[in-house]
A = this chain, B = another copy of it.
Amino acid sequence: MPLKAILPHTYTHLTGEDRRRESIFKEKNCLEAELRSRLRRKKSKISNMSKRGILERLAEGVVIGDGGFVFALEKRGYVKAGPWTPEATVEHPEAVRQLHREFLRAGSDVMQTFTFYASDDKLDNRGNEAASKHSGAKINQAACEIAREVANEGDALVAGGICQTPSYLSGKTKAEVQQEFRKQLDVFIKNDVDFMICEYFEHVEEAEWAVEVCKEMGKPIAANLCIGPEGDMHGISTGECAVRLAKCGADIVGVNCHFDPFVSLEAIRLMKEALDKEGLKPYLMCQPLAYHTPDCNKQGFIDLPEFPFALEPRLSTRFDMHKYARQAYDLGVRYIGGCCGFEPYHIRAVAEELAEERGCKPKGSEKHGVWGSELRMHTKPWVRARARRNYWESLNPASGRPYCASMSKPAAWGITQGHKHLTQHTEATTTDELSELYSFKS
């Protein structure tokens, strides 16, 4: 089918279609907001309860999430690509804290605990020894402390985070999988996180199991699948996935990771249609990749030949994020954040695009001119000539790579839960096992 025709809402980058918003951004006096925040922060030293809760905030306006920790910290030197586990909370808390601060400064309303893949079965999977070295509980605990510390430097909430487990992929029972979740939840309960995010699930079934356990906490729950418009890995449609998540108790429903902002919004559009049809009204949430993925199949960027070390050319600009934020907002998404590839400046762009709606620009905007406006201070006149929205909005950036194509063919091994190659174990992958894999045509 003609590629372009199918994607009316997505791959129409930076055409001036939303020129209707051309009215220059009016820098509102943010003093009032700042004062409110300071007051709250003061109080919060006594009790976190003084902050408005996530559902209250969503009811009133738009909430900005944070960006991707594993990718950002891998590039900074604290997370290992492969296992992708968050023992940095114990090993290098200063690095994790700094990244939280940068997102806070960029406009994030939520500090999500850096507990991705921090279930015990994953921390010691395939030769990784993060749990053996530090214990899962300790890693989760450190994450909660850092998140709360930084959250209290502003008006942000703390969200506990859990995600899919090797146990599920390996075909363990519901009870076994939920047991893995419970070990993390014990820590979140002890630390009184403000709400839970169940995120990065490829199978809606496992996400339901997670939500079910979280319900026991009595906190608001967000549930995101890492899927696109083609549905989950078991072939359940995107719309049905959303309906199931809402029905099992998620207050906020959406997608994260695996696809770029525009493909992800297409997935959410399908979710919204199905939810509307059922009369369900959870809040919508989107935390996509910052990488362009027009060429992915159902498995998302994991299947791209460039994953995970050669995705650079696909990285979004800040202007792509303006467009993403606007389209997400117009679609009705009220929790707008990012995942892998999202650096603080991407979140800042989201916050700047929605500054009018939020009544305030992010703190970090003191070092940034929206749509390049501060380039008027540049030394070179032709760069000063770029200090305007129109210049950046109509620019199609070159790749600088004349020997590279613009799209890739995904690996498309097409295997999922139940396949022998997906069974996880604590022992390291052997050389023989690797040789067998190398021999497959990728």
User: Which residues from chain A sit less than 8 Å from chain B, CB to CB?
Assistant: 1-7, 10-13, 15, 74-83, 94-95, 98, 101-102, 105-106, 125-128, 166, 169, 228-230, 259-260, 263, 266, 291-298, 302-319, 343-345, 348, 364, 367-369, 372, 374-388, 391-392, 395-411, 413, 415, 421-422, 424, 428-429, 433-434, 437-438, 440, 442
Contacts and interface: CB of A to CB of B under 8 A. Distances in A.
Most chain-B CB neighbours within 10 Å: which of A260, A296, A313, A408? Answer: A313
A104 to B, nearest CB: 10
A214 B8 CA distance: 39
B367 A397 contact: no
Contact of A74 (B302, B307, B315, B345): B345
B391 A398 contact: no
A361 B98 CA distance: 25
The 10 nearest A-B residue pairs measured at CB:
A292-B400, A314-B400, A381-B421, A77-B364, A399-B399, A385-B437, A82-B377, A82-B374, A310-B397, A402-B407
8 contacts: A2-B229, A3-B6, A5-B230, A75-B343, A75-B344, A310-B395, A381-B415, A396-B405
A162 to B, nearest CB: 16
Contacts of A403: 11, 13, 396, 405-409
A77 B363 CA distance: 9
A297 B81 contact: no
A343 B312 CA distance: 12
B367 A78 contact: yes
B1 A383 contact: no
A391 B310 CA distance: 11
Which of A367, A386, A415, A422 is the most central at the interface, judged by chain B CB atoms within 10 Å of its CB? Answer: A367
Given A403-B13, A437-B381, A440-B382, A310 B319 contact: yes
Contacts of A385: 434, 437-438, 440, 442
A239 B260 CA distance: 32
A433 to B, nearest CB: 8
A201 to B, nearest CB: 13
Nearest to A98: B98
Nearest to A166: B379
Given A2-B230, A377-B429, A397 B392 contact: no
Given A3-B7, A79-B367, A294-B402, A422 B310 contact: no
A312 B260 CA distance: 15
B11 A6 contact: no
A386 to B, nearest CB: 7
B398 A408 contact: yes
Contacts of A308: 375, 383
Contacts of A442: 382, 385-386, 391
A193 B199 CA distance: 48
Contacts of A376: 82, 126-127, 428-429, 434
B306 A398 contact: yes
A303 B5 CA distance: 11
A398 B379 CA distance: 34
A105 to B, nearest CB: 5
Given A399-B313, A428-B376, A6 B12 contact: no
B259 A2 contact: yes
A260 B126 CA distance: 38
B407 A397 contact: no
Contacts of A392: 309-310
Given A80-B368, A313-B398, A316-B312, A377 B128 contact: yes
A9 to B, nearest CB: 10
A313 B310 contact: no
A98 B105 contact: no
Contacts of A318: 309
B384 A80 contact: no
A293 B406 contact: no
A178 to B, nearest CB: 20
B83 A94 contact: no
Among A297, A391, A404, A438, residue most surrounded by chain B Cβ atoms (within 10 Å): A404
Nearest to A391: B442
Contacts of A259: 2
